[in-house]
Structure 1
Amino acid sequence: MTLTWRSITSRQRGLDSVGSAFNPSRTARHYHMPLKSLADQATTYRVRFCIGLLAVCILAPLAARDSARALSTMYNAPALWLPEDMPVRKQYDDFSELFQGQDVLMIGWDGAKIGAEEVDQAAQALLPLVQPTSDRPAYLEGVSSGQRVFDVLTSPPTSFSERATRARLKGSLVGEDGEQTIVLATFSEAGNLNRQEVLAQARQLVSDRIGVPEDQIYTAGPPTDGALVDAEAQGSIDRFTLPSVIVGALICVFCLRSIVLTAIIIIVAVIGQGMSLAMVLYSGIEMNAILIVLPPLVFVLTASAGIHLCNYYRDAMCSDPTIDPTAATRQAMQAGILPCWLAATTTIIGLGSLGLVRLVPVSAFGFIAAGSVFGTLLLLLLLLPGAMQWHGKRHRIKHRAALAKANEEDIDPLPVEKWRSNIGHAWEAFAARFMKYPIIVVALFTVITAVAASGLPQLTTSVNIPRMFPENSRIRTDYAWFEEHIGPTINAEVVVQFPPDSMPDPIDRFRLVRDVDDHLRSTELVGGVFSARSFLPSPPSKKSRSIRSTVLEANIRKQLEDPDSPLQDAGYIAIDKKGNQLWRISFRFPFDEAIDYRTEFQRVQAEVIPILESAGEGISPQFTGGVPMTTESQDVLLQDLFRSFLAAFGIVAIIMMLLLRSFTGGLVAMFPNLFPTITLFGTMGLLETPLDIGSVMTASVALGIAVDGTIHFLTKFQSQSRKGKARTEASLAALHKCGPAMWQTTAVCAISPLVYGLSDFQPTQRFAFMMFGLLLAALVGDVLLLPALLASPLGRFLTPKTPKQKPATTR
């Protein structure tokens, strides 16, 4: 005979009554605390509700005002997310301080040819942004173009031929056809802080001046990247936060059948969303694309805690038609407050472990989210008891009538609503079938987890900005135009460092830089090479003593030493604080998702370093720019993600061991909690899908959420086991009582963030889908894997032992 909740209750109805599970006197005796009278308890709950309401009245305006202020600070600069004390970040900062050109906007359009008047006109149109006004600072530090550099190189003192000049500029400022060129605008610090506005103005000014529609003006470079990410991140919050809240509220009402309880949960969740953004402002960091997923995450975690507490209250109300609402509330709080705090603690640990990640936004995300979870749970514990009393008084008659009808027809009295009862019986029957073969089920889940785990070593991360947008997005279209008409767009830098006492002759230094430049130009997948070599003719051989060689060398020497020469104006030679002379060589890689930039960059390093080492005299290279900063960020993200997850797993496992009073039991209980994370992240590795900044935080978050359901389930399971039930019966009873809260929290917490999946911004979209998948997998783990574990021989490690009870059997 199939073992279900109905068959169990028909044999042990008295033993399994919900009232015995929520015995306030027994709880009070256990803690040696006298129970308050119902009148005193009601007064306490009303006082708490008033305190909570006061807190809401104080926090709501702060959340509304300061969340908007936080969003106004939106600024995305992945290169600055690494800690300042990391060598790669320090090199980048030093480079940015000495050289110009890190925040250069490239502007192009069809028809921007060498010799065309429109190129100079477009550059002139941008000059108003170089000058400060009474109401704003200068937004641009300077404006140039391929035409201007072309004119400089074809004029004295260099006087290159037009053909030679086109060859020197090809791939950086001039296209492969030798005609297509671009305009360059270097952003000031003020311009960077207002880059969305400046970018829009620049497009409009150029469009109006040359008569080309704005949608045919193409832009690329860090200012464009940052402005578009800022706009999309802001848009994701503006467009999807309210619909997500509405969807969550509707599902919550449908599940709880109470507008009052739903209203409290949603109000607290929304305030938690706002305050999480406000905390970004208070912490002094800028809003960015990583932190925009704070609001949906806080909403999810708050709703989960509220629904679990409300289901404890519904259990108490449905258990006794004559129960006083205050007594039901007290029973709910006594039964639910410990599991809820334990679940919140594990979630906070999971989020707090992100503080180990060295990327500043990720660590800030972990700490702020952890604090938000703590704060929203406190608010729920203040407000929900009073709301439960008010709800109970209004629906007391309805509950009595429904319970009486259920008893007359001998149907499941918990829950009363028919649709909930049908869902409960359906999945209890489904779980019971699985529990007939617990060893097979556990083995199946083990195999699935092991196969997925094989993909974890192949897991990669990406902080590449164009990849954050769909194929048909404006940024991808613009980058494709530059790749086709000009050359590669992903920049990197080699800085050749000459100590003061090495190669005193500047001509010799130039020869060495020329050799590196020539080598890079001949390297596969490298383009857009630009250095002092682009401004100067090739120096003569040291052995040459002709008059022409002497004149040429003198000309080169003059340009190298003249502070007003075109080379010096271009800013490709600088002196650092130690007196070292630094020669900059810029180069670029194509934007192609199939290219492994780390491998290609390492290949460039392996080819450049021997050239400089052979020169001796302490000459050394420094590698910086977009590519090394991006690859280092990705490495740090993946390494620290693994460390933070291990830390969270270790701490949560210790907590489980202490709760179960068993080392082995704690490890067994962690299996269902690891299943969601390993399965999804391992599958991403097998499919070669990189983790982006939207999904990277979900590993530790998922662990905390998964443990939430496990703790509630094990609490009920152990309660039933202490009544003498066999493990299979106790598992079904626990599933019957925890099941509604588990699938309701999954419905609210998985579907409401899914609204963000409609965003075109890939990190936001990926976060929504990852949360949906992880929560769904966590539900499967708690509903199928955990009961199977309990029914299997491993279940004995999770079953409480009492002096009067022999170890429970599986039958």
Structure 2
Amino acid sequence: MGFSFFLRHRDAVLLLVLLVYPFVVWKALEAFQGGSTNTDDWLPESFAETNDLRWFQKHFVSDDLLVVSWDGFTLEDPRATELADLLSSPIDVGDGERIVLTRKVMTPQDVIAQLQAEPLSLSRREAEKRLCGWLTCDQSTTGCLLVLMSEEGWPYRDEVVQTIEQWAQQEKSLTKNDLHLAGLTLDSMAIDEASNRHMAAMMLGSYGLSILLMVLLFRSVGLAVIVFFDALFCQQLSLAVITLSGTQMDSVLLIVPSLVYVLAVSTCVHVLNYYRDSLREVSLEDAPAQAMRHALVPCLLSTTTTGIGLISLMVSSLVPVDKFAFFGTVGLLLSTGILFILLPCQLSWLGPRLKLLPEDPDESPPQSTAWTTLQNIVQRLRWPILVATVIAFIVSGWGISQLQTSARVYDLFTHDSRIIQDYDWFEENIGPLVPLEIVLRMPNAEAGSSAPGMLDKLRLVATIARLVDNHPQIGAVISAATFAPPIERKSRRPFQVARETFINNQLENFRTEFAQNGFFAEAPNEELWRISARTYAGSIFKFSEVMNSLSNELDPLLEKASALGFKNTSLVYCGGVPLVQKTQRQMLVDLKAGFLSAAWLISVVMVLLAFVHLWPAWREATSPLQRGQIGIKSLLAGGVSMISNLLPCAIIFGAMGLIHVRVDIGSLLTASVALGIAVDDTLHFLSWFRRGLSQGSDRREAVALAYRQCGLAMLETTLICGLGLLVYALSPFVPIARFAWLMFAMLSVALVGDLVVLPALLLGRTGGFFQADKLPSPETDNS
């Protein structure tokens, strides 16, 4: 079923699109409803770190805390008690339903009173000392509230934050800037808010800029409207697919519709370029079908390579990257299929009205002189260009070896964002916030054997907590020992032994309190003791080194404890620190694996294309040696065509490594995607170059033909797509902004590679790899 079928049913196709469009928009808008991002879900269930976190959440309350404070907060501030009472009461969540959204709200006053009361009877100074770093600062001059969300309250955390902000507005002594909020509960909210903030405005800005560029470059409002309508339809369709699949939108999936829009624009621009050329060769009625026939192979190949770039991301173990790859690929395939049906119908219907037919069909395009000038420059500077390319690859290789990744909360937001400012305030005035949860697993004693008492268990917990607290990257540690009476062993005198026996019996009554505070749990055949440490969100250090140094100190301690009756005790590390560590390590692994997979697969495609072009010579070959030479030429031609495609990723990521810009999840998406998109222009250029060779032209004439036929389209797609994406660099969510400017940079370098480096290669001896040597005739052989 060719294009003529759709052209015969042109009106039905156009009417069907108009009827379907409202439904697509409706479902696209639904994609933005109820979306949420939780960085705890970025790692798959198969990872040990994920399983450890799930195991921890099963036995202990999850560490979904919200830290609240304000300028002028004191340990006896009555406003803290007032806010705690408010958050402990039912909150309206809509439809007249009121729910208690918090599990517990801890204030310095309450915890100090608890520590001073019987049976602990700690002094005020000792009580404040135990709160240092997590509820108060070193000098106890300021403090904060810890709000622990309930399982029922997690979906309504927005309401909790709004309740706090409304309470602060009603307090005459507080201003909006006085209030400070941080913690894991707020992180996910801040990610959603930052990724969605100004998204509508940025989309409109991208639309407006792309339309303006299309009108200026196409010199036709009609063509600009066609491209915009089709690209917007493809974008909305990609969002509708996400909705219909039941997948929840997150901050990374937000990039998919913008990417699909750009890819659709690129396809449309190349098709319109073929359409304008067809108007010089055939009648106005036949031009749409011929344009689509000329565009079919290069555009399908471009879709294939871009799809390979997207699919290669599915090797990633990060859940949002995997989702991005899947829905990006689906959106790409759907948009390509729709455009090849819709565009010829639109051009057939609107072509006569657009008056695009040139006055003189034989007149050369006005930009030919410019392309001839560029070709002459490339011809004259061919060797300096190739030497500069080699140097660029060498330097970039060194830079890539220096790449580092980051999954810190600090790298998700701009430095002037409110959440980063609040993190800085808390870590400067109170203590660190990133959790490292350590669980001490104590198997129950076997029947008939003696087991350590509660006092000895707490002493082991306290010793572990002290060693962890001594680590330079740990700022605060909380454990069951924080809520226990003094348990230090002072001597082994008889009266002291009797005292410890008494304390041990008393501590048995603390089990319930330890469990309520979230630092003790009983599991089948074992007891679990939680030591909760905190590290600084703003610090740049290798979490793996922190984990290794802690293990080196704590493992010998467990060996000594084993000799004292703590048989088979072990430690489990979980929480924010192991997750960040695993995510950072996995990002670099995925970046390499995804890019290498895409590069290898696309290289195979380029080699096969070269072989297809040389296939007639292969069939005419009369000896295995001749066929071997043709096969080697195919491999070399594929390798040469990949040089300009690998150049953008090498230069951009090499520069990131040299200037120490860390790779985040937004950067991770760009390498393979940019490689796939960069191949698009290469394929169009090589398609015309090979066509020129097949028509009997030499390499210089074939390069000139490629410049004339697709150079303008390559420039147009880079300007429209690159600048259209660059608008999103204004996003306050760093991964989206990073993706935007990296894609713009890579598309710009790719344009230089395809218009300068690739022709320099084709004009030299390496261009001979794309054409077969003239085989000797049988008469010549016989002679």
| TM-score in terms of structure 2 length | 0.91
Give the aligned partner of residue 337 of structure 2.
378
Q: Is the 8 A contact 2:197 2:732 kept in 1?
A: no
Shift in CA distance, 289/557, structure 1 to aligned 2, threshold 3 Å: farther
Name 1:809's counterpart in structure 2: none
Once the two structures are superposed, residues 97-148 of structure 1 have per-residue CA deviations (whole angstroms, 9 ceiling, x without a partner) of 2112511101011232222322212211212247989525432222221221
1:621-664 CA-partner distances (Å, limit 9, x unpaired)? 11111111011112112212211211111111111111101122
CA distance in 2, matches of 1:489, 1:310: 55
Correspondence 1:432 to 2:376: yes
Query: 1:630 and 2:580 equivalent?
Result: yes
Paired residue for 1:657? 607
1:418 aligns with none
Task: Specify whether residues 190 and 205 from structure 1 end up closer, same or farther in structure 2 by C-alpha distance, changes over 3 A only.
Answer: farther
Distance in 1 separating the partners of 2:388 and 2:19? 51
Report if aligned partners of 1:654, 1:666 keep a CA contact under 8 Å in 2: yes
SS in 1 for 2:9: helix
Tell me which residue corresponds to 1:307: 269
Rate the CA distance shift 1:606–1:285 in 2: closer, same or farther, 3 A: farther
Percent identity, please: 32
Task: Tell me how far apart the structure 1 counterparts of residues 644 and 116 of structure 2 sit (CA, whole Å).
Answer: 71
Does the 8 Å CA contact 2:66/2:186 hold for their aligned counterparts? yes
In structure 1, the partner of 2:64 is: 103
AA aligned to 1:793 is R
1:569 alignment counterpart:
516
Alpha-carbon distance change, 382 to 258 in structure 1, aligned in 2, over 3 angstroms: farther
1:12-161 correspondence runs (5 A) = 44-48=6-10, 50-51=12-13, 53-58=15-20, 60-129=21-90, 134-161=96-123
Instruction: Return the offset for 1:449.
Output: 1.6
Any conservation in 2 of the 1:49–1:382 contact (CA below 8 Å)?
no
Q: How far is the alpha carbon of 1:526 from its aligned partner?
A: 1.2
Mapped partners of 1:149, 1:488: distance in 2: 19
**Matching residue's letter, 2:519:** Y
Q: 2:133 aligns with which of 171, 176, 195?
A: 171
Distance verdict in 2 for CA 1:522–1:49, change over 3 Å: same
Question: Is residue 524 from structure 1 mapped to residue 465 from structure 2 by the alignment?
Answer: no
Structure 1 residues 167-206: aligned runs within 5 Å: 167-206=129-168
Question: Where in structure 2 are the equivalents of 1:406-445 lying within 5 Å?
Answer: 413-415=363-365, 421-422=366-367, 424-445=368-389
CA change 1:224–1:130 in 2 (3 A) is same
Unaligned stretches of 5+ in structure 2?
A: 612-633, 778-783
SS at the partner of 1:581? strand
Question: What is the Cα deviation at residue 447 of structure 1?
Answer: 1.2
Supply the AA of the counterpart residue of 2:344: P
Partner of 2:629: none
Alignment of 1:276-675 (within 5 A): 276-317=238-279, 319-320=280-281, 323-396=282-355, 399-401=357-359, 403=360, 413-415=363-365, 421-422=366-367, 424-501=368-445, 503-541=451-489, 544-548=492-496, 550-565=498-513, 567-576=514-523, 578-616=524-562, 617-661=567-611, 662-675=634-647
Q: Give yes or no for contact 1:42–1:326 (8 Å, CA) kept in 2.
A: no
Aligned residue type for 2:244: Y
- Stretch moving more, 213-222 or 136-145: 136-145
Of 283-292 and 645-654, more deviation after overlay is shown by: 283-292
Report how far residue 499 of structure 1 moved. 1.4
Indicate conservation of the 8 Å contact 1:664/1:797, yes or no: yes
Q: Which moved more, 1:369-378 or 1:178-187?
A: 178-187
Give the SS at the match of 1:498: strand
TM-score (ref. length: structure 1): 0.88
Q: Do the aligned residues in 1 keep the contact of 2:135 with 2:146 (CA within 8 Å)? A: no
Structure 1 residue 341, shift from structure 2 partner: 0.5
- Could you tell me how far 1:235 is from its partner in structure 2? 1.6
How far off its partner does 1:521 sit? 2.2
Q: Alpha-carbon deviations, 1:745-781, whole Å to 9, x = none?
A: 0011100111112222212211110111010011011
* Larger displacement relative to structure 2 (248-257 or 733-742): 248-257
Instruction: Describe the shift of the 1:336–1:611 C-alpha distance in structure 2 as closer, same or farther (beyond 3 A).
Output: same
Change (3 A) 1:343 1:302: same
Residue 721 of structure 1 pairs with residue 693 of structure 2: yes
For residue 236 of structure 1, report the CA deviation from its aligned partner: 4.0
1:3 equivalent in structure 2 = none
Q: Is the 8 A contact 1:499 1:618 kept in 2?
A: yes
Q: 1:113–1:52: structure 2 CA closer, same or farther, 3 Å change rule?
A: same
Of residues 374-383 and 460-469 in structure 1, the stretch that sits farther from structure 2 once superposed is: 460-469
Equivalent pair of 1:483/1:489 in contact (CA under 8 Å): yes
**706-715 or 686-695, which deviates more:** 686-695
Higher mean alpha-carbon deviation, 772-781 vs 243-252, is at 243-252
Give the superposition deviation at 1:365: 0.6
Unaligned runs of 5+ in 1: 1-32, 408-412, 416-420, 806-811
Q: Which residue of 1 aligns with 2:622?
A: none
Q: Indicate conservation of the 8 Å contact 2:93/2:156, yes or no.
A: no
Instruction: Please tell me whether the aligned partners of residues 675 and 777 of structure 1 are also in contact (alpha carbons under 8 angstroms).
Output: yes
1:683 maps to which residue? 655
Amino acid paired to 1:630:
V
- Letter aligned with residue 786 of structure 1: L
Q: Give the Cα–Cα distance (whole angstroms) in 2 for the partners of residues 253 and 115 of structure 1.
A: 66
Tell me if the contact between 1:53 and 1:383 (Cα under 8 Å) persists in the aligned partners.
no
2:234 is the counterpart of 1:246? no
Amino acid at match of 2:317: R
> How much does 1:504 deviate?
3.9
> For this pair of structures, how many residues does the alignment match?
746
Counterpart CA distance in 1 for 2:512 and 2:77 is: 27
Asked whether the equivalents of residues 274 and 295 of structure 1 are also in contact (C-alpha less than 8 Å), the reply is yes
Q: Distance in 1 between matches of 2:172 and 2:54?
A: 37
Separation in 2 of the partners of 1:713 and 1:445? 19
Q: Tell me the secondary structure at the aligned position of residue 142 of structure 1.
A: strand
> Does structure 2 retain, via aligned residues, the 8 Å contact 1:204–1:214?
no
How far, CA to CA, are the matches of 1:191 and 1:210 in structure 2?
28
Q: 1:49 to 1:758 in 2, by over 3 A?
A: farther
CA offset at residue 688 of structure 1? 1.2
> In the alignment, residue 383 of structure 1 is paired with which amino acid?
L
Partner Cα separation in structure 2 for residue 55 and residue 803 of structure 1: 53
Does the Cα contact within 8 Å between 1:495 and 1:623 map onto a contact in 2?
yes
Q: What is the identity, as a one-letter code, of the residue corresponding to 2:165?
A: R
> By how many angstroms is 1:542 displaced?
9.0
- Aligned 8 A contact 1:105 1:184 in 2: yes
Closer/same/farther in 2, CA of residues 155 and 431 from structure 1, 3 Å limit: farther
Counterparts of 1:49 and 1:793, CA distance in 2:
51
Matched-pair contact (CA < 8 Å) for 1:243–1:755 = yes
User: In the alignment, is the contact (CA less than 8 A) between 1:347 and 1:705 conserved in 2?
Assistant: yes
Matches of 2:246 and 2:466, distance apart in 1: 46
After superposition, give the CA deviation of every residue in 1:690-731 in whole Å (9 maximum; x if it has no partner): 122222101111111111011111110000011222212211
Cα distance in 2 for residues equivalent to 1:136 and 1:727? 76
1:51–1:722 distance in 2 versus 1, CA, 3 Å: same
Task: Note the C-alpha offset of 1:594.
Answer: 3.4
- Paired amino acid for 2:673: V
The offset of 1:301, in angstroms, is 0.5
Structure 1 position 208, deviation (Å) = 3.1
Distance 1:795 1:514, change over 3 A: same
- Separation in structure 1 between the aligned mates of residue 73 and residue 500 of structure 2, nearest angstrom: 34
> Distance in 2 between the 1:605 and 1:130 partners?
43
